[in-house]
Chains A and B, each alone.
Chain A
Amino acid sequence: MIAVVVIPAFDLRAALRLHPALEAAPAALAPLPGTEALLGSVTAAAAAKGVRPGMRLGEALATCPQLVLVEQDPASVEQAWEEVLRRLEDAGFAVEPGEPGTVFFDTRGVERLYGGLDPALKRALNAVGPAWDARAGAAERRFAALAAANVARPGQALVVSDDRTQRFLAPLPLSLLPLERERYEELEELGVRTIGQLAGLPGAAVAERLGPEGRRAWSLARGEQDGRVAPRRAAERLHETLEFPEAVAQELTLRRGLGVLVDRLLARPERTGRPPRKLALWARLAGGASWRRTVTLREPTADAARLRTALGPKLAELPAPVLKLRLELAELAEGTGEQLELVRGEGEVVQGRLREGLRQVRAAVGAGGVSTVVEVAPWSRIPEARALLVPRDD
């Protein structure tokens, strides 16, 4: 069977980990800057006061004046989601992550491991942890499993057998289907409000009216085959972080900090000589928000200069001063072979001697004994604000 674990409003829950007091208050995810002023996920307290996800900001504030807007925090979401996936993988589940808050896995192997389907689903919910209010669903089809998880109560695992799939799906609302908002509205205008009503329509008519997207939804509504689970390959994430004593906005300083992070990351033994293929740059911004960009290299490389060239321009996109900068190795290439150079580049001998000298210093005084001076604000009237000492262990 295919099982799904669903954590509703995962983005909001992850963002609220930094503000736990707001969990019981009417709060909602604020719209992203530059996008339409529509609310994201909302807390139970906000929903009780009539605020709904997707509501216009003005309407929501008029409905609930005490509504607190929580800034979107994509980095926290990604980090929390990765933690959930790793806990599931540690418990033996080969997971296929969907959107943050939705994860699929095949139950065949783990049923034997945990002594049946129900104990396996309970184990999955325990692995996620009680704080997330996760719920699980299982069925022979992905969509039916997803629908079951969406209607289950927190902590509940709902299993739908194959012969009951159509009967189970029939009374459920159309909003469970992957359709654009306009499509729901169009179907509701036609008097189609449940999955069963959609499944009862002729397929050709649905395709003509709603296009390929509607045809796919119709197929799902009829409980037709919708693909197997493709588990991810558990990633080994390496990262290096640099904390600044005060927020840094100057791009030159950030580029120097990035250079240090690249050198440190390339020096990590866990890399075992494999060159990075995909990297992620993460920043904690002044004011509490976070920022994240990923860079996939056209050709995997462990050349520090090329990595700095690929990552550097991303720093110009930072919307606010940075308190903490982190570089992650999101994916490593498998091959370690690289064409060697016949003639060594100019300055490499001197660089090698310098590195060897620094290694000796580190061996004598310990980690953190070698630092780089990074100018932050050389024009500052406050002497200690002019430069930073950044430790380097590469």
Chain B
Amino acid sequence: MVAHPGGARAARSARRLNAPRPALVEPHGDGVPRRVNRQDVALLREEWRIVDRWWTDEPVDRRYFDLVLETGENVVVYRDAGSGAWFTQRA
């Protein structure tokens, strides 16, 4: 018996480009990050909020911060309002 060649191949999935990655963030009392991945924040450049897809089962509610760390590195982090978790992402 010869195996059906088509069945041997699994579907290869497309991946999201620029998917968010979990980040270790210590915020101030007002929610603005104080430390990101164990690095102190030197400057808050910009802050914005994204609320989208509220009509779906996977609503998006994020508070983004564009930061400069003490090392001089630029980083964008956000806090997911649903889970309370922090992520880094290129905006």
Q: Is A288 an interface residue (CB 8 A)?
A: no
Interface centre among B13, B15, B18, by most A CB within 10 Å? B13
> Which residues does A use to contact B, with CB under 8 Å?
86, 90, 236-245, 257, 268, 270, 324, 326, 328, 368, 371, 373-374, 381-391, 393
| 29 A-B pairs in the complex with CB atoms less than 8 angstroms apart | A86-B4, A240-B9, A241-B11, A242-B11, A242-B12, A242-B14, A243-B12, A243-B14, A268-B5, A270-B5, A324-B11, A328-B6, A371-B15, A381-B50, A381-B52, A383-B18, A383-B20, A383-B89, A384-B17, A384-B18, A384-B20, A384-B89, A386-B17, A386-B18, A387-B17, A388-B17, A389-B15, A391-B14, A391-B15
CB pair A388 B15 closer than 8 Å: yes
Q: Do A237 and B50 form a contact, CB below 8 Å, given A384-B16, A391-B14?
A: no
Q: What number of A-B contacts does a CB cutoff of 8 Å give?
A: 73
Which chain B positions have C-beta within 8 A of A86?
A: 4
CB distance from B60 to the nearest CB of A (A): 6
- Other than the known A371-B15, A384-B19, A386-B18, what 9 A-B pairs have Cβ atoms closer than 8 Å? A240-B9, A242-B13, A383-B18, A383-B91, A388-B15, A388-B17, A389-B14, A389-B15, A389-B17
Which chain B positions have C-beta within 8 A of A388?
A: 14-17
CB distance from B87 to the nearest CB of A (A): 10
Which chain B positions have C-beta within 8 A of A326?
A: 11
* Interface SS, A side: strand
CB pair A90 B1 closer than 8 Å: yes
- A269–B25 Cα gap in the complex (Å)? 50
**Closest partner residue, chain B, to A271 (CB atom):** B5
Q: Do A389 and B12 form a contact, CB below 8 Å, given A382-B52, A382-B60?
A: no
- A291–B20 Cα gap in the complex (Å)? 32
Chain B 46-91 residues near chain A, CB threshold 8 A: 50, 52-53, 60, 89-91
Q: In the complex, which of the residues B4, B5, B15, B18 contacts A245, with contact meaning CB atoms closer than 8 Å?
A: B15
- A388–B16 Cα gap in the complex (Å)? 5
CB pair B13 A239 closer than 8 Å: no
CB pair A245 B13 closer than 8 Å: yes
CB pair A245 B11 closer than 8 Å: no
Which chain A positions have C-beta within 8 A of B53?
A: 382
Q: Which 5 A-B pairs have the closest CB atoms?
A: A241-B11, A387-B17, A388-B14, A243-B13, A384-B16
